[in-house]
Amino acid sequence: MHHPTHRTVDVAGDVPYAITIGPGLLDAAHPDNVKRLATVLRGRHALIVSDSHVAPLYAERAAALLHAAKPQLTLSRWVMPAGEQEKTLARFAECLDALAALGATRDATVLALGGGVVGDLAGFAAACWMRGIDCVQVPTTLLAMVDSSVGGKTAVDLPQGKNLVGAFHPPRAVIADTTVLRTLPDRELRAGLAEVVKYGALFDAHFLVWLEAHADALLARDDAALAEAIARCCEFKADVVARDPYEHGQRALLNFGHTFGHAIEAEQGYAGVGRDALNHGEAVAIGMVLAARLSTLLDLAPADHGDRLQDLLLRFGLPTRLPGGLDARALIARMRLDKKADAHGLRFVLWERPGSAHVVSGVGEEAVRAVFDAAAG
């Protein structure tokens, strides 16, 4: 049975794979869902990797689907505590222990069921176990569906910094069931929407117009609207990744809003903002508005593009102004340390207009300072 809201995006590369998007994809009662998984399961072993929030909600569904796809499968689960602070080498080692306990052979499959934390850690475990086994990504956050599950980057954090240890290991398949987004906390949904807006800003003015028209449907978690938005984002990301699989050029565009965003995230951590801290998507939302303002200050883009971007982010309930307590000088010092800075100044992804962005090096600190001052809120 073909569901009208199901979408497929093919990702090209050394090992091509398909992203399937739509409501009910984890439902074992649908033969298409069973067949989709059966075709990618090669061996006799599978490990479901999930976290303490997602496993109680969806691990049973994933296990039933795996069993339907391959009744003779030896299946086990490893569940990590939820949260970025758990994306560690120690948890990674525990995940490898679970693969060892399962007796996973080289044809085993890891099924990553969760947000980007689970996807990154499980993907890295799959990349390393016996020098690489299959990973099927089953993203359960909007951010994971539009970003982390696509493109093959996997990693864990070190105390010294985020994502410092990892590998490129593309998944065998990505299965994005939009119905699981119904249990996602509002704030996590909005964080994902920030990255969705980013794709529109970078690649397609029409998509931004579509987002304006469908903002309410997306916030209401309408399956058809979500599937459409996710598919569009995956197409954009798949296209960039196919042209620059190892992040030597093009792929840097995906950092629109992220130079500012990372500085904000790092500085608020340092400032001990704690429970009220902005999450990644919120920091990126502010970062994109700042990048648009900087583009205007440098005479690259008219101000009204930034105004419209800001209005859209506000409709999605995202912050667009710098939180109080963050010092412009400290933020600029953070950006200087960013790997995107070089001897000639700071580096940003800037735009002329929606759909036309590029990397600009050698941006002077006075301009950045002026943008911060104007955005203090």
Q: Which residues are annotated as a binding site for NAD(+)?
A: 116-120, 140-141, 153, 162
- Pick from 284, 296, 300: which is nearest to 371 by CA? 296
Contact between 120 and ligand NAD by CB under 6 A: the answer reads yes
169 is catalytic: no
Contact between 310 and ligand NAD by CB under 6 A: the answer reads no
DSSP-assigned letter for residue 39: T
Among 33, 109, 140, 310, binds ligand NAD (CB under 6 A): 140
Distances (CA, A) of 321 to 133, 269, 283: 44, 17, 9
> Taking a C-beta distance cutoff of 8 angstroms, is the pair 163, 115 a contact?
no
- Give the nearest residue (CB) to ligand NAD: 116
- Pick from 254, 280, 259: which is nearest to 372 by CA? 259
User: Which phi and psi (to 5°) does residue 80 adopt?
Assistant: -100, 155
Looking at the Cβ atoms of 185 and 362, the one nearer to ligand NAD is 185
Contact between 54 and ligand NAD by CB under 6 A: the answer reads yes
* Residue from 188, 255, 282, 293 carrying the catalytic annotation: 255
> Taking a C-beta distance cutoff of 8 angstroms, is the pair 83, 22 a contact?
no
Distance (Å, rounded) from C-alpha 304 to C-alpha 312?
A: 12
Among 26, 143, 301, 368, binds ligand NAD (CB under 6 A): 143
Contact between 51 and ligand NAD by CB under 6 A: the answer reads yes
Contact between 86 and ligand NAD by CB under 6 A: the answer reads no
Q: List the interface residues with ligand NAD, window 189-208 (CB under 6 A).
A: 191
How many degrees, rounded to 5, is the angle at CA 136 between CA 265 and CA 194?
30
Piece in contact with ligand NAD (CB under 6 A), picked from 90-98, 138-146, 268-276, 307-315 = 138-146
Looking at the Cβ atoms of 115 and 354, the one nearer to ligand NAD is 115
Q: What share of the chain is helix, strand, coil (3-state, %, to 5)?
A: 50, 20, 30
Which positions touch ligand NAD (CB under 6 A)? 51, 53-54, 57, 82, 84, 87, 114-118, 120, 140-141, 143-144, 147-148, 151, 153, 162-163, 180, 183-184, 188, 191
**Which positions are annotated as active-site residues?**
131, 153, 195, 237, 247, 251, 255, 258, 262, 280
